[in-house]
Every structure is written in structure tokens, then in C-alpha cells.
């Protein structure tokens, strides 16, 4: 014999409890509103393609160089993939080891400096660095201290 | 079954007694060395050891001002006392509290406490001593830094890695000379003319004089030494023929708070 107990007492067989959601309509509206707000970013950008970044390489400093010498400290593929690692390595070697010069894979020596080597050619931070960084939503904290030379170059060109 | 209350209290009391008494008794019998009592290491031979001598006989307020200007303009040190834009002027307690100084001047009784006398050489009272980081041989700031953002290079320079500084200010508490300043706000608006070849600092990091290590790497003398017109001598203390060594041999010099055992490397000829 199976006895069932609920809050009203003992029953010989399982009592039928009416299953219902209280305030069914309000709950449904709530769920719909939640889903809409939660996915609003997707709806807003539906069908829109964000154009891929186009970092500009044509600064006055680069154009001035002869065609053959227009190379970065390493080749383009390396720089695209590993420039952040390279900058961290430079930072370590300059500050921790006091070694200010860095030799690339071809044996050429460069001053390991963000402001004085990279930004010397890439004087256009907004057209160069920021293009990709904004696209992939990364915020490197270089620029809190290091200077871009962008203003200096703009002033010099205006003259 | 189990233990009664009386036994439990006895046991707890006994173990507490052992636990508390054990460690202190151990320390009483085997005291060992307290870390704070560490002595300064002797300078290693055959390497570079940068040091500076300030000749107070040649130093005056104009030269000191030149040195400060040379240093602070090169290293992008903000000026909170007299900001470049009058709109940025700060109220009185703040501008002193936020002040950032790599090199500055102060009176004898402030710079050399513990060396006062009831009757002192009169000229001392009028002297403004040029003060900067002493690049101690036994730097307390380095010992307290939790991230090794400040550390000592083999050539003696007490270096700062701003990338690592978390702004805890332990080093400021550790430094007995007050050579370290904290960036309470973004310093950039308070820099009169930014030198783009040298980085600025960010809000929330500590900064100080770095003996112009970036200029030393190029074979130049520190900016203040260059601007001082001979009142400052800078060089390699480990080299027996260097100018600092000669100057130190010829003259009696004093150092700031040598009794603290930090072995400061900025010497003063009075």
C-alpha cells in the first residue's frame, strides 16, 4: 500500500495536483523582453559586415626611403603575428638587462625602442596601430607612457 | 564515549600553551639573524659602480635650478607647483603632496638629520643641498618591492621598471631619503614641454632619478652633471683612475644618513 503525503494530509493514492504557472502572460513577456535585450547586439549588427582593418603604411618617413629599404625590422608575416612578443622581448632586454640594441634574423642591429624605432617610421598611430587593435578590440597599454610622435610629425608637416 | 568537558579544556589549554610557547622559546634559544640587520655588501671589484659627488663649494641656487631644469625637462617630470596652464593650478596642500621630484634642493638640517649640532658652521644654514636618489649599495626600496619593479643593476643603478610597478608605494616607505614620488594623477597635462624621445609616466606608478641610464648607454654624462658646470662629478667608483675616485680621495665628503646602513653613493663636499 502506497501512502502519499502532501501539505494537506495523507492520501491513499497520489493526488492529482494541477500544474500551472502563475501569471503565465507576465512571465512570458518577461522572458521575451530578456531574450531581446540579451541578444540586442546581434540584431543591431545583423547583415552588416565590419570592414577589415587597413593599416596605412604610407607615412612620410617610409615614402622617403628607397623602395628596397622599405622593410620593417623583420618580415611582414613575422611582424603581423609576433610584434607584441617582440615588443615584450625588447622591453625585457632594454630595462632588465640594459641591452639597448637588438639584432634581427638577418644580423642587422636596431635600437630596441618603441618610440624611437617603431614610431620613427610608423608615425601614424591612428592609421596604423589603432586600425587592427580596434578591430580585434585589444587595448595595449603602451600609450599611457610611451609617446607616439604623431603630434610632432603633424606639426612638422604643417610647417 | 568521547571525553568529558574537564579533560577537553585541559587538553586545549595544554596544546595552546605548547603552540604559543613553542615558537617563542625556539627563537629565544636560537635567535638567528634578523633580516633587517643585514649589512651592506662591499662593492665588487672590476665592474662599473656609478657614483656622484656634489661639490657644495661650487654649487649655488642658480646652478641647482639649471640642474633641476635639465633633468626634469628631459625626463618629462610634471610640475604641480607651477603648472604650464594656469587653469590647472592646484590648491595648496595638494600641489605639495602630489609633487614629483627627481632632483631638488633642501636645507642641511632636512637633508642631514642626525648631524645637527647646537652650534654649527654658519654657512651651512644658507646652503641648499642638491638632493637626488642616492643609488644605495644596499637599497631598502629594492628589498621591499613586491614585484621587483625596482631592482639594482650590476653597475649600482637602482633601476625602475615602470611596466611592473603596481603602485603599492612600499618603496616610498622604505626609502629613508624621500627620493621617490607617486603619480597621484595623469602627469601629462602638467608637463610643460613633452620630450617625445623619453616616455612619461602613468597614473599610479612611483618614479625617481635613474642616474640617466639612458644617457649613460649612449656614453653621455647625466643631464644634471652636464648642466652643473663642474659642481657635480659623476663616474665609475670601481675604476681607481676615475675622476670621482680622485675627488673622493682629495676631499672629505659626507653622505646622507650613512648610519642607516644603506651605503648611499651620492657624496657631498661641504
Under 8 Å between Cβ of B234 and B50: yes
Residue with cell 618603496: B171
Buried b (16+ CB within 10 A) or exposed e, B90-101: beeeebeebbbb
pLDDT of res. B20: 76
pLDDT in tens, B131-145: 999 999 999 999 999
Q: Do the Cβ atoms of A152 and B153 come within 8 Å?
A: no
Does residue B156 have a pLDDT over 70?
A: yes
Does residue B43 have a pLDDT over 60?
A: no
What span, in angstroms and rounded, lies between the C-alpha atoms of B248 and B222?
A: 19
SS3 A77: helix
A–B: how many Cβ contacts below 8 A?
28
- pLDDT tier, B115 (very low <50, low <70, confident <90, very high otherwise): confident
Instruction: Return the minimum-mean-pLDDT range out of A126-130, B20-24, B197-201.
Output: B20-24
pLDDT of res. A46: 84
pTM as predicted: 0.77
Contact A145/B at CB under 8 A: yes
Contact B144/A at CB under 8 A: no
Contact A149/B at CB under 8 A: yes
Backbone dihedral region of B127: left (phi > 0), alpha (psi from -120 to 50 degrees) or beta?
Answer: beta
- pLDDT tier, B13 (very low <50, low <70, confident <90, very high otherwise): very high
**Chain centroid offset of residue B75 CA:** 17
Instruction: Return the minimum-mean-pLDDT range out of A36-40, B34-38, B70-74.
Output: B34-38
- Cβ count within 10 A of residue A91: 17
Q: Which of residues 82-101 of A touch B (CB under 8 A)?
A: 91, 95-96, 98, 100
Q: Do the Cβ atoms of B199 and A147 come within 8 Å?
A: yes
What span, in angstroms and rounded, lies between the C-alpha atoms of B140 and B261?
A: 10
Cell of B262: 644603506
pLDDT of res. B148: 94
pLDDT of res. B36: 54
The DSSP symbol for A144 reads G
Contact B189/A at CB under 8 A: no
Q: Do the Cβ atoms of A147 and B153 come within 8 Å?
A: no
- pLDDT tier, A60 (very low <50, low <70, confident <90, very high otherwise): confident
SS3 A146: coil
pLDDT of res. A9: 77
Supply φ then ψ for residue B121, to 5 degrees: -50, 125
Cell of A155: 606639426
Average pLDDT (B248-259) is 94
The DSSP result for chain B, as a single string, is ----HHHHHHHHHHHHHHHHHHHHHHHHH-----GGGPPPPPPPTTS--EEEEEETTT--HHHHHHHHHHHHHHTT---SSS-SSGGG---HHHHHHS---SEEEEEHHHHSTT---SS--GGGGG-EEEEE----SS-HHHHH-SS--EEE-TTS-EEE-TTT-----HHHHH-TT---EE--S--GGG-SS--TTS----TT-EE---TTHHHHHTTPPPHHHHHHTTSEEEEETTSTTSHHHHHHHHS-EE-SSGGGS----EEEE-
Q: Do the Cβ atoms of B199 and A95 come within 8 Å?
A: no
pLDDT in tens, B61-84: 999 999 999 999 999 999 999 999
The helix (run of H) or strand (run of E) holding residue A90 is: helix A76-91
Q: Do the Cβ atoms of A145 and B213 come within 8 Å?
A: no
Q: Which of A90, A98, A143 to mutate to test the interface with B (most CBs of B within 10 A)?
A: A98
Q: Are strands B50-55 and B103-107 parallel, antiparallel or unpaired?
A: unpaired
Question: Nearest CA of chain A to the CA of B36: how many Å?
Answer: 26
Terminal Cα distance for chain B, rounded: 83
List CB contacts of B79: < 8 A, sequence separation 6 or more.
B72, B190, B191, B192
- pLDDT tier, A98 (very low <50, low <70, confident <90, very high otherwise): confident
Q: Which of residues 111-140 of A touch B (CB under 8 A)?
A: 115-116
Q: What whole-number percentage of chain B has pLDDT above 90? A: 72
In Å, how far are A126, A131, B8 from B23, measured between CA atoms?
62, 61, 23
Contact B250/A at CB under 8 A: no
What span, in angstroms and rounded, lies between the C-alpha atoms of B81 and B79?
A: 6
Buried b (16+ CB within 10 A) or exposed e, B152-169: bbebbbbbbbbbbbeebe
**Chain centroid offset of residue A59 CA:** 24
Contact B124/A at CB under 8 A: no
Chain A residue with CA closest to B152: the answer is A96
Does residue A145 have a pLDDT over 70?
A: yes
Nearest Cα to Cα of residue B88 among B79, B76, B100: B79
Q: Identify the sign of the CA torsion A7, A12, A13, A18.
A: negative
Under 8 Å between Cβ of A100 and A112: yes
- pLDDT tier, B216 (very low <50, low <70, confident <90, very high otherwise): very high
Does residue B39 have a pLDDT over 70?
A: no
Amino acid at each position: 500500500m502506497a501512502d502519499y503525503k502532501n501539505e494537506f494530509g495523507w492520501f491513499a493514492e497520489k493526488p492529482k495536483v494541477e500544474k500551472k504557472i502563475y501569471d503565465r502572460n507576465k512571465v512570458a513577456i518577461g522572458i521575451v523582453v530578456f531574450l531581446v535585450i540579451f541578444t540586442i547586439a546581434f540584431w543591431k549588427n545583423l547583415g552588416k559586415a565590419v570592414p577589415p582593418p587597413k593599416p596605412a603604411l604610407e607615412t612620410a618617413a617610409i615614402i622617403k626611403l628607397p623602395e628596397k629599404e622599405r622593410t620593417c625590422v623583420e618580415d611582414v608575416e613575422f611582424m603581423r603575428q609576433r610584434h607584441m612578443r617582440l615588443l615584450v622581448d625588447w622591453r625585457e632586454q632594454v630595462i632588465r638587462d640594459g641591452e639597448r640594441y637588438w639584432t634581427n634574423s638577418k644580423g642587422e642591429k636596431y635600437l630596441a625602442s618603441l618610440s624611437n624605432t617603431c614610431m620613427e617610421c610608423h608615425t601614424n598611430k591612428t592609421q596604423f596601430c589603432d586600425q587592427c587593435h580596434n578591430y580585434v578590440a585589444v587595448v595595449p597599454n603602451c600609450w599611457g607612457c610611451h609617446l607616439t610622435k604623431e603630434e610632432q610629425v603633424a606639426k612638422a608637416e604643417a610647417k | 564515549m568521547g571525553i568529558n568537558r574537564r579533560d577537553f579544556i585541559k587538553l586545549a589549554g595544554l596544546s595552546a600553551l605548547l603552540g604559543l610557547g613553542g615558537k617563542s622559546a625556539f627563537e629565544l634559544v636560537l635567535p638567528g639573524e634578523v633580516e633587517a640587520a643585514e649589512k651592506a655588501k662591499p662593492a665588487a671589484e672590476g665592474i662599473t659602480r656609478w657614483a656622484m659627488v656634489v661639490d657644495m663649494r661650487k654649487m649655488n641656487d642658480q646652478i641647482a635650478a639649471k640642474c633641476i631644469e635639465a633633468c626634469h625637462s628631459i625626463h618629462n617630470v610634471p610640475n604641480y607647483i607651477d603648472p604650464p596652464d594656469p587653469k590647472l593650478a592646484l590648491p595648496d596642500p595638494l600641489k605639495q603632496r602630489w609633487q614629483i621630484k627627481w632632483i631638488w634642493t633642501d636645507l642641511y638640517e632636512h637633508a642631514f638629520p642626525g648631524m645637527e649640532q647646537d652650534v654649527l658652521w654658519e654657512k651651512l644654514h644658507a646652503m641648499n643641498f642638491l638632493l637626488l636618489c642616492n643609488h644605495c649599495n644596499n637599497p631598502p626600496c629594492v628589498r621591499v618591492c613586491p614585484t621587483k619593479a625596482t631592482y639594482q643593476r650590476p653597475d649600482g643603478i637602482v633601476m625602475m621598471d615602470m611596466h611592473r610597478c603596481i603602485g603599492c608605494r612600499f618603496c616610498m616607505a622604505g626609502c629613508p631619503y624621500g627620493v621617490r614620488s607617486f603619480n597621484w594623477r595623469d602627469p601629462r597635462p602638467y608637463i610643460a614641454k613633452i620630450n617625445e624621445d623619453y616616455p612619461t609616466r602613468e597614473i599610479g606608478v612611483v618614479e625617481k632619478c635613474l642616474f640617466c641610464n639612458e644617457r649613460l648607454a649612449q656614453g653621455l654624462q647625466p643631464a644634471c652633471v652636464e648642466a652643473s658646470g663642474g659642481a657635480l662629478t659623476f663616474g665609475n667608483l670601481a675604476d681607481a683612475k676615475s675622476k670621482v675616485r680622485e675627488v673622493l680621495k682629495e676631499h672629505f665628503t659626507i653622505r646622507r644618513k650613512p648610519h642607516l646602513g644603506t651605503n648611499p653613493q651620492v657624496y657631498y663636499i661641504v
